[in-house]
Structure 1
Amino acid sequence: MTDQQPRHGSVGGRQVPWRRSLRTRLLLWSSLTSVLLLVAVAAVFYVALRGVLIANTQAEMRGLAQQAAGGLEATLDSVQVSGRTLAGTASGLGRQPLNLRALLEATLAADPDIAGVMVAMEPGRLGDDDPGFDWYVRREGLGLVNTPLKGLGYDDYRVLPWYTRTVGTARPWWSEPYANDATGGELFVTYNLPLFRPGGEGMGAIGMVSLDVPVQRLRGQLGQLVDAPGLVPMLFSPEFRAVVHPDTAFSGGGPLPEVIESTGRQDLAPLADALRRRLPLEWQHTLAGSGPRAGERHYSFALPVGETGWSFALSVPEHVILAQLNAVTLWGLGAGLLGVVLCVWAVRRHAGLIAQPVEDLTDTAHHFARGEFDYPLRHVEREDEVGVMARAFDAARGSIKRQLVEITGMEAARSRLESELGIARDIQQALLPGPGELRGGGFHVAWHGLLDPAKEVGGDFYTVFGREGDALWFAIGDVSDKGVPAALFMARTMTVLEVAAQAGGSPGSALRAAALHLAEGNDTCMFATVLCGVLELGTGQLVLASAGHEPPVLLHADGRREFLPVPTTGPLGVDVAGDYPAWRGRLAPGDTLLLYTDGVTEAFDAANQAFGEARLLRALEAGADPAALCHRLHAAVQSFAGEAPQSDDITLLALRYQAGDAP
């Protein structure tokens, strides 16, 4: 190893950006893995504990609701019992003011939940000279205040709604919360009972008794539930009004169905139905409406308070249930993240022990990439994975040196082969006749050919030459396979065809003679499809013969296009047919004959669709000269194929027959 070593974290003397450093990635992935594991564990525990916590809270809330409803039932039942006792005793006493006052005071003394008691007997109901009796006793501090109803501002209580309802329905009932001068501004609810003569219930009420209960007393029965943060206790009167509720929109509003309608709290519709049917209810709901707490999820419980007609409900928001769990989870995540930070710090301190050998090997690989294969290689002696990698580098270095020597030789051979193929391509193109024309008998014919091989050299060919003065002999062929073997067979085929054609005779006899020569010694079993013909310039007479080749296209002077039905036999080189039948016809001045190989119709695009005969006909332009016709058709094929590789040689030969000795 040289004395000048690359700096820590460098490759070939260049500092590696920290974002790409192996140490940074090691730290990143270890940190990310730890954080993901921490979050996954926290999520699993959170979901599991959440379910347990909600279930336990529901059970606890159910017990609290039952306990609160039981306490309210005891209080309200006590008031109702006191009311029935007072009504029964007062009707037995008749109009005895002193005894009735004493009875009222005794009722207050017997039940601390009652804040005021009233008895009202209508004048004349116990006798014609009966002046009636009305009296009210209420607590005030440690003493009692006694006063007639007129002292409360009731000049004629018999016309007041609470009195007419009590004596009219002849049934006890609870009033809605109210406050006035008699209550000292404090909210009260009153239990009202009709008063009958002893044994005279069927004769109509002679008056009424009422017992006042402070709403604060009922709130006190709920104990800590009222002031507990997050809990929502609700006490509903028999008329479904909220007597106790933390939201003034409920406690100061009308019956619950009306409040639901006015506030949009449709999530409380099940509660309203349960109150109406006097049934218990447990349900989960999301606060509706448009208030600040809309969308908050609640778990709620509702119970009828015995047979009193009152109902109690208790609700708790989900965030209150999960507040402690959320706090514990956050603390746990914080502690876990602190652990991750400590772990990352430890990994960072020791990452160099892992990263430094890899950085050394990376530095060596950089020098190898620059061709410095004699650069010193460290850590070959190690027994761990780094040593295995270093020895693999050492073996690769020797292998690369050997391969470079071989590649140099192969490159020279490849250059020679490319040069030879280029020469072969030039020779092949030189074998093909260029564009030209032939005149005779007052007519002339012009031709143009085009060959686009799929490889450096191809197997397609065409030839054109005059014969016997006014006759034009032409041929086009397609040799099986491609490349150099096809090019050699193509040259041989052209030679035997031209010799056979110069010997005279018809195109069919020329094909037969060529077939005999090509089949001899054809151990490679190569073959060629050939279409050849003779055109008499003076008459336009056309004779065609085919050995397995595609039919030519006749483009009439008026623009009509048609494939000529030339009979065909097997290709040359495989077998010799007994007869090569000819197709005979006549070209009119202005007609063009197009010969082509299957590299045109079987050119494929990227979707493996063939160019086909229909596109070939559409690509031919009437009136175009042979050169323009060939080049436009070739361009149409290339445009159709697009980026798809050329699958076969493309060869075109066009002959245009015209009147006159000059074009």
Structure 2
Amino acid sequence: MRVFKSLSLKISVSIMLAVALIFAAIILYNYFISRDLLLKNVEDNVKNLADGSAQKIEKVLEASAKIPQNLSYILGASQYSADELRNLLELIVENNDEVFGSCIAFEPYAYDTDSLYFAPYVFMTDSGPSFKYLNSESFNYFDEDWYRIPKESLKTGWSEPYFDEGGGDILMCTYSVPFFFDDEGQDLKGIVTIDISLEWLKDYVESIKTYDNGYAFVISAGGTFITHPLVETSIEQNVFQLAEERDYDVLRKAAKDMVAGGSDFILFDTPIIDGTTWLYYTPLPSAGWSLSLIIPEDEFMADLYELNRDLLLIGIIGFIILLIIVIYISRRITKPLTSLAQAAIEIGHGQLDAPLPAIKSKDEIGQLNASISKMQVELKNYIQNLKETTAAKEKIESELQIARDIQQGIIPKIFPAFPERDTIDLYAILDPARDVGGDLYDFFFIDDDHMCFTIGDVSGKGVPASLFMAITRTLLRARMDMNIKVNEVIEIMNNELCLDNDNAMFVTLFLGILNIETGRIEYCNAGHNYPYILKKNGSVEELKGTHGTPLGAMPDIGYGSSVVHLENNDTLMLYTDGVSEAIDTDENQYTEGRIKAKLAEFKGEDPETIIKQLIGDLDLFVGEADQFDDITMLVINWQKKEDAADE
């Protein structure tokens, strides 16, 4: 037996395939569930980290913003000298570590009617606070965003990050607060500012760690990077510009949400880190900025990956161990089946004494072994009986063939039957449905001028019908005489057939005597199908009339007779119901009407041609349907003698 066809291998493969599928489903389910839970946990942790960091930045920004806000009330209500303003600014810078510098910039001629510019500025250096005036035409502070924007809007706010050339000469952001001559805030007096160096913000944001390679960055309200690992402190770069350069729609949408003050946790592609990363951003409301954290997926998923690798390794080892166990068990189970299969093959090849394996178990394999053992005995008996039955069948078939030959031998089948006679031409056929049948036909001369002819159909089929048919023909030949009438012959035959007829068999019979000189026919119809007369002109007449019941049905029955005269070249056609009741595959009958219609087409044809054409049409009609009854036909054509015709 080939290995790939072995039952043990099929069992092993089926079990291990099912185990592999189940294990794979468990691994995948565990991975995706764990991944979702871990991702949710990471999102919560990152959100807490980002929100906490944002709150710290917010505290610095809010505290810094209150300084110029409070100062704006003082400057609007009072007039201070230049020295007082300088002292006030130095006090602010010295006492607020987060403040790099502070400036009070007046409107043209607002501080001194003779001075267009007046903007004292104090900023922190390594040696301490430093003072300068931003009062030069080379540095027109009226055009700077930190002055121009709050002047036009009359609102406080943080500027975009910028490099302060001519001021602190560092990268900074400025918080500007307008102050006024009046309490209604309509008559602008100047702008008071504080500058925050972005170095402290950069250092703080860089200290925010999200795993080993994660990082954070901050963008301004206009999308400018305030801090970012890839952005130089002396170069301005905008997040929208970066999104367009990279044609990255995710960054473009996220940037819009950032500057709008939104918050989200999304998949993100960064050029700094290989692999999948996640982005979480949260707003810094006081400045309109946004703090963003980048988290590498490979790092926070590392433990999950390692766990799944361990599970996979354990699964593979377990799979191999289970495979060995399954193969061992399946081979133990299928080994006796293999032996039984080999024995069955030998039995199939005729070796009925093939040895069977010794199996003592009471399970299905043991039952199968016992069944095959019993089958060996039954097969031996069956083959012996089959040999005997075959021999008997062959003997019966031989005897049936002999009976068929005998049956065919007792009916005339040599045609033309009377070649020496010009007035009569006939043809007949008998085709039994089985080896032997119960139909019969016969014709013979009683004297030189009178021909007896008959056709009959015995009830039933096979050997009993053929024996009853032979008896009927023998009685006819024995009892037929010119000294008695046809109906008297029928009555004698009926009484004799009723004797010892325990099987209640009967025969329908049409018996006639034809005077070949005159065409006169005396006939008796004992329950048989009506014959047809095909006239010389092509018309067909049905020879109706029944003179009694079938023979053998009831004794002492009286029968009548009738006479009909054939005209020159008339043809008499007799048949049994095996012709009219023949059926096709749809169980439609051939019918007497079709016989009559076909006869009309045979005008002028001889009896042999008529029968053969009828048989051909019958075969065409029946098709593949089986023959279920004997088919018998007798056709007689009568012609006057020439001298008689001339007279």
Q: TM-score range by the shorter chain?
A: 0.5 to 0.7
Mapped to 2, the partners of 1:176 and 1:658 lie a distance apart of 134
Mapped to 2, the partners of 1:177 and 1:132 lie a distance apart of 24
Match of 1:169 in 2: 153
> Quick one: which of 296, 317, 328 aligns to 2:307?
328
Please report how far the alpha carbon of residue 416 of structure 1 lies from its aligned counterpart in structure 2 after TM superposition: 1.7
**Aligned partners of 1:170 and 1:194 also within 8 Å:** yes
Mapped to 2, the partners of 1:104 and 1:515 lie a distance apart of 155
- What TM-score, normalized to structure 2? 0.63
Please report how far the alpha carbon of residue 58 of structure 1 lies from its aligned counterpart in structure 2 after TM superposition: 1.3
**Aligned partners of 2:173 and 2:197 also within 8 Å:** yes
> Quick one: which of 403, 411, 415 aligns to 2:394?
415
Instruction: Specify the code of the residue in structure 2 equivalent to 1:57.
Output: L
> Quick one: which of 44, 51, 56 aligns to 2:33?
51
**Aligned partners of 1:53 and 1:321 also within 8 Å:** no
> Quick one: which of 99, 103, 116 aligns to 1:131?
116
Mapped to 2, the partners of 1:42 and 1:654 lie a distance apart of 85
2:18 alignment partner, SS class: helix
Mapped to 2, the partners of 1:216 and 1:497 lie a distance apart of 141
Instruction: Specify the code of the residue in structure 2 equivalent to 1:416.
Output: K
2:89 matched to 1:89?
A: no
Match of 2:106 in 1: 121
The one-character-per-residue Cα deviations of 1:503-548 (angstroms, maximum 9, x if unpaired) are 9879xx9999999998887765778899999999999x9x999979
Mapped to 1, the partners of 2:571 and 2:228 lie a distance apart of 106
Change beyond 3 A, Cα 1:545–1:41: farther
2:180 matched to 1:201?
A: no
**Aligned partners of 1:114 and 1:211 also within 8 Å:** yes
Change beyond 3 A, Cα 1:253–1:246: same
Please report how far the alpha carbon of residue 85 of structure 1 lies from its aligned counterpart in structure 2 after TM superposition: 2.3
The one-character-per-residue Cα deviations of 1:337-361 (angstroms, maximum 9, x if unpaired) are 2233234446667877666655555
1:206 alignment partner, SS class: strand
**Identity between Structure 1 and Structure 2 (%):** 20
**Aligned partners of 2:109 and 2:115 also within 8 Å:** yes
Match of 2:623 in 1: 638
The one-character-per-residue Cα deviations of 1:279-336 (angstroms, maximum 9, x if unpaired) are 7667xx8899xxxx99x9x998765555654556778798887664454334323322
**Aligned partners of 1:27 and 1:344 also within 8 Å:** no
Instruction: Specify the code of the residue in structure 1 equivalent to 2:191.
Output: G
> Quick one: which of 61, 64, 68 aligns to 2:43?
61
434-443 or 87-96: which moved more? 434-443
Mapped to 2, the partners of 1:652 and 1:66 lie a distance apart of 109
314-323 or 70-79: which moved more? 314-323
**Aligned partners of 1:139 and 1:145 also within 8 Å:** yes
Please report how far the alpha carbon of residue 68 of structure 1 lies from its aligned counterpart in structure 2 after TM superposition: 0.9
Change beyond 3 A, Cα 1:355–1:120: same
Please report how far the alpha carbon of residue 65 of structure 1 lies from its aligned counterpart in structure 2 after TM superposition: 1.2
Match of 2:22 in 1: 40
Please report how far the alpha carbon of residue 362 of structure 1 lies from its aligned counterpart in structure 2 after TM superposition: 5.3
The one-character-per-residue Cα deviations of 1:362-401 (angstroms, maximum 9, x if unpaired) are 5555555555556666636788887766666555544544
Change beyond 3 A, Cα 1:557–1:195: farther
Aligned residues: 611
Match of 1:12 in 2: none
199-208 or 496-505: which moved more? 496-505
Mapped to 2, the partners of 1:243 and 1:546 lie a distance apart of 127
92-101 or 125-134: which moved more? 92-101
| CA RMSD of superposed structures (Å) | 6.9
Please report how far the alpha carbon of residue 89 of structure 1 lies from its aligned counterpart in structure 2 after TM superposition: 0.9
2:109 alignment partner, SS class: coil
Mapped to 2, the partners of 1:551 and 1:108 lie a distance apart of 143
Change beyond 3 A, Cα 1:365–1:660: same
436-445 or 172-181: which moved more? 436-445
**Aligned partners of 1:596 and 1:653 also within 8 Å:** no
Please report how far the alpha carbon of residue 170 of structure 1 lies from its aligned counterpart in structure 2 after TM superposition: 2.2
- What TM-score, normalized to structure 1? 0.62
**Aligned partners of 2:432 and 2:629 also within 8 Å:** yes
Change beyond 3 A, Cα 1:160–1:40: same
> Quick one: which of 358, 382, 391 aligns to 1:379?
358
Instruction: Specify the code of the residue in structure 1 equivalent to 2:68.
Output: L
**Aligned partners of 1:534 and 1:544 also within 8 Å:** no
Match of 2:140 in 1: 156
Alignment of 1:214-363 (within 5 A): 214=198, 217=201, 220-221=204-205, 224=208, 238=221, 252-254=238-240, 263=248, 265=250, 304-305=283-284, 309-310=288-289, 324-345=303-324
Instruction: Specify the code of the residue in structure 1 equivalent to 2:67.
Output: T
Gaps of 5+ in 1: 1-15
- From the CA coordinates, give the structure whose radius of gyration is larger: 2
Instruction: Specify the code of the residue in structure 2 equivalent to 1:209.
Output: T
Mapped to 1, the partners of 2:37 and 2:489 lie a distance apart of 102
Match of 2:2 in 1: 17
**Aligned partners of 1:72 and 1:221 also within 8 Å:** no
